[in-house]
Amino acid sequence: MSSLESNSSSFGRETKLPLSPPLVEGSGHELLGEDLKEVEESAKEIIKFTTEKLSIDEASQLVISPLCGAVSLFVGTTRNNFEGKKVISLEYEAYLPMAENEIRRICSDIRQKWPVKHIAVFHRLGLVPVSEASIIIAVSSAHRAASLQAVSYAIDTLKAKVPIWKKEMYEESSSSWKRNKECFWTTSD
């Protein structure tokens, strides 16, 4: 046997560990009352409209769960250009009672389509400067596929159905209200 083969087989023996440590009474590995509470954790939906700067950390922390191995985020920010014009900020308005109800419906649809735990949807209203977030969607799930698909569905459906309007403010002192091309109530030009 060559020294390389010897090292490989020795390496293989050294790294063989049990898949999980044996449970020893009083070791702290058994399911305790607090762990049971985590198993029974209720699903949350947090919907927030605010004129304040949005916090990515706050949104992600609200959906973290010990039952979940994935937190997926979508963060929509103000870009500095649109069709060759320099954008300095966006201004958002919403019909809040209807907007909140539509987002609740989106959350309900998500729960019917994917096994997710918590959902947070934050949308900023008023002026949103370049590079700041206008929307944050956070979803937690046991595995990444569900939360990634849910986040994608949430932003696409929100843009199509939720009554939120955006006005682009341009450097040359002009502005323009924009419709979401996804909105079902608009017609093609």
Asked if residue 186 is part of any domain, the answer here is no
Asked if residue 152 is part of any domain, the answer here is yes
Asked if residue 21 is part of any domain, the answer here is no
Asked if residue 38 is part of any domain, the answer here is no
> What total number of domains does the chain contain?
1
Asked if residue 31 is part of any domain, the answer here is no
Which CATH number fits the domain that encloses residue 90?
A: 3.90.1170.40
Asked if residue 8 is part of any domain, the answer here is no
Q: Annotated binding residues, as ranges?
A: 143-144, 159, 166-168
User: Shortest CA distance to 157 belongs to which of 120, 112, 122, 105?
Assistant: 105
Q: Annotated binding residues for substrate, as ranges?
A: 143-144, 159, 166-168
* Domain enclosing residue 135, as ranges: 43-178
- Tell whether pTM > 0.85: no
**Close Cβ partners of 136 (under 8 Å, ≥ 6 residues apart):** 54, 55, 56, 59, 73, 74, 75, 76, 120, 121, 122
CA–CA dist 158, 138 (Å, integer): 13
Name residue 93's beta-bridge partners.
165
Please give the chain's pLDDT, 189 residues, in tens. Answer: 444 444 434 444 444 444 544 444 444 444 455 554 555 689 999 999 999 999 999 999 999 999 999 999 999 999 999 989 999 999 999 999 999 999 999 999 999 999 999 999 999 999 999 999 999 999 999 999 999 999 999 999 999 999 999 999 998 776 666 666 665 555 554
Contacts for 32-36: CB closer than 8 Å, 24+ residues apart? none
